[in-house]
Amino acid sequence: MKKILLIVAMCIFTSLMCNAQSISASKIMKYIENQKQTEIAKELLSMGFVYDGKETNNNMTMYSYSKKANNGLEKLTIGYNDELFIVHYKPTTNEIYSSIKEKMLTSDFGYSYSYKTTKYYENGSMRIGVNDTSKSISFFAKKIN
């Protein structure tokens, strides 16, 4: 009986690990600091994300990725132009959205403005847009060359 319970526990743990959220606040920071689209893409694909395509609008190039999990669809978009590097993230659950928002919006960020349903916060090096309606969060940093 103990062996059966152990096997069931291991299966549940493995299932949870396979369907856990892929992107953390520290991974987003790594992407913003690195800004190498090809390296980010390679990592996302190795984590099971699917490349959804490239789009260019108003001088902004955007690469979209998604990953289906038991608890929803996880989406990440990387974009850049001559001035900005952007990471837009939509996690699978409200709890993960709230957690990343809390970790990233530290006390050095001040409210700057709102546009439609997104509130923007800034510090000296980054702007963060949080959308509590869509449960998505965007990060804008100066593009490094």
The mean of the pLDDT values for the chain is 87
Residue 46 host element (H or E)? helix 37-46
Within a domain: 8 = no
Within a domain: 2 = no
Within a domain: 31 = yes
Residue 93 has pLDDT above 80, yes or no: yes
Confidence of residue 21 (pLDDT cuts 50, 70, 90): low
Within a domain: 4 = no
Tens-digit pLDDT profile for residues 39-91: 999 999 999 999 999 999 989 999 999 999 888 999 999 999 999 999 999 99
Plot region of 135 (φ>0 → left; ψ -120 to 50 → alpha; else → beta): left
Question: Could you tell me the residue range of the domain that residue 66 belongs to?
Answer: 22-142
Within a domain: 3 = no
Within a domain: 14 = no
Within a domain: 128 = yes
How many structural domains does the chain have?
A: 1
Residue 4 has pLDDT above 80, yes or no: no
Residues near 5 by beta carbon (within 8 Å), at least 6 away in sequence: none
Within a domain: 39 = yes
